[in-house]
């Protein structure tokens, strides 16, 4: 990649913590592959500083911004315009800078649907179970319903399950773990799997006709995916969603078709290095 110059465009991510973010690796590989004079950097911005950070984006002409915890809700309130997807969720994870007018998007759920499409898994007319009701689950529930799936939400805290299922409108309902057995697509959107906990659902609910997706991508091979493979199910890791939501942001910011295979390779290489270092 040539050294940044006076014409280099800047894209960034804000969050806290942020040093673990894979976004710089994924986006810088994509900019280089596409021959774009762009650079991507990560900024640690503490909670409460979202509005000032977005003012900085306007003032400095930062061309595109990714937004991660704890800023997704505050960014929703601080941008100038939001998409329908972001409005439904009340959260923004991607900001497009149109000459100082900031448009807030939420690309997480669409990233999962794109990742499933890339794996040849149809979503329209499917029975999905989403485990979890946090930020990631909410975006996935809304996107799966928009894409034509019936969505059953299973979550430890019942109130949050009800609120999340409502995002799917008539296609959403609250269910229980046993519903996993009759789903064609099972999505783990809880954080279970990151820290050596047990399985988020009993393995005997998984079967060969299913696609099982784990949004947890560190480790890439989670206990759920290992169990899914052992039961003959199709196991799909969380790297695809990460890459595809990044690809949506890349296209929004640059207007250029994203080099998805390059982004995927960069993410997997960085995760592999991280896992070897543990």
Among 191, 207, 252, 262, binds ligand NAP (CB under 6 A): 191
> Among the candidate windows 47-55, 187-195, 219-227, 258-266, which touches ligand NAP by CB under 6 A?
187-195
* Whether 193 is catalytic: no
Site map for ligand NAP, 233-262, x if CB under 6 A? -----x--xx--x-----------------
Q: Residue from 11, 145, 183, 216 that binds ligand NAP (CB under 6 A)?
A: 216
- Does 189 sit near ligand NAP (CB under 6 A)? yes
Query: What is the side-by-side strand order in the sheet with 185-188?
Result: 172-174, 150-154, 127-131, 185-188, 211-214, 234-236
Please report where in the chains the tokens 């050596």 appear, as a residue.
196
The catalytic residue among 42, 57, 66, 72 is 72
- Give the residues across from 67 on adjacent strands: 14
Q: Give the residue from 103, 95, 128 showing the smallest Cα distance to 113.
A: 128
Contacting range for ligand NAP; rule: CB under 6 A; set: 15-23, 150-158, 223-231, 259-267: 150-158
Please, which residue, 56 or 265, has the CB nearer to ligand NAP?
265
Name which of 245 and 254 has its Cβ closer to ligand NAP: 245
How does strand 101-105 pair with strand 94-98?
A: antiparallel
Under DSSP, the state recorded for 149 is -
Q: What is the dihedral of CA 221, 40, 254, 79, to 10 degrees?
A: 90
β-partners of residue 138 are: none
Strand order in the sheet with 101-105: 38-44, 9-15, 64-67, 94-98, 101-105, 81-82
Report whether 128 contacts 98 (CB < 8 A). no
Residue number, 12 or 136, with CB nearest to ligand NAP: 136
Residue 135 found at the interface with ligand NAP (CB under 6 A): yes
Q: Of 116, 153, 167, 215, which lies in the binding site for ligand NAP, with binding defined by CB under 6 A?
A: 215
Pick one of 86, 116, 133, 144: the residue that binds ligand NAP (CB under 6 A). 133
Mask: binding to ligand NAP, 101-120, rule CB under 6 A, as x and -? Answer: -------x------------
The least distance separating ligand NAP from the CB of residue 238, rounded to whole angstroms, comes to 3
Query: Is 160 near ligand NAP (CB under 6 A)?
Result: yes
Residues in 10-39 at the binding interface with ligand NAP, rule: CB under 6 A: none
Q: How far is CA 7 from the centre of its chain?
A: 30
Structure tokens at 233: 């199910």
Is 206 within 8 Å of 212 (Cβ atoms)? Answer: yes
The residue ranges that bind ligand NAP (CB under 6 A) are: 108, 132-137, 155-157, 160, 189-192, 194, 197, 215-217, 238, 241-242, 245
């Amino acid at each position: 990649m040539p050294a940044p110059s006076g014409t280099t465009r800047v894209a960034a991510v804000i969050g806290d913590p942020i040093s673990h973010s894979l976004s710089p690796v994924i986006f810088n590989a994509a900019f280089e592959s596409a021959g774009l004079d762009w650079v991507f950097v990560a900024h640690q911005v503490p909670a409460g500083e979202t509005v000032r950070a977005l003012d900085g984006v306007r003032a400095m002409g930062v061309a595109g911004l990714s937004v991660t915890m704890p800023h997704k809700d505050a960014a929703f309130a601080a941008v100038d315009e939001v998409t329908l997807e972001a409005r439904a969720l009340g959260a923004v994870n991607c900001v497009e800078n149109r000459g100082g007018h900031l448009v807030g998007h939420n690309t997480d759920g669409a990233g999962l649907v794109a990742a499933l499409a890339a794996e040849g898994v149809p979503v329209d007319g499917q029975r999905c179970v989403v485990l979890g009701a946090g930020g990631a689950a909410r975006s996935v529930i809304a996107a799966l319903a928009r894409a034509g799936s019936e969505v059953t939400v299973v979550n430890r805290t019942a109130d949050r399950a009800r609120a999340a299922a409502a995002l799917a409108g008539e296609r959403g309902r609250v269910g229980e773990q046993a519903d996993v057995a009759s789903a064609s697509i099972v999505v783990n959107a809880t954080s279970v799997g990151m820290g050596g906990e047990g399985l988020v659902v009993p393995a005997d609910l998984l079967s060969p006709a299913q696609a099982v997706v784990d949004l947890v991508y560190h480790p890439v091979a989670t206990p759920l995916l290992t169990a899914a493979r052992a039961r003959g199910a199709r196991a799909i890791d969380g790297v695809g969603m990460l890459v595809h939501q990044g690809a949506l942001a890349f296209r929004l910011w640059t207007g250029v078709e994203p080099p998805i295979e390059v982004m995927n390779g960069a993410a997997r290489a960085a995760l592999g290095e991280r896992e070897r270092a543990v």
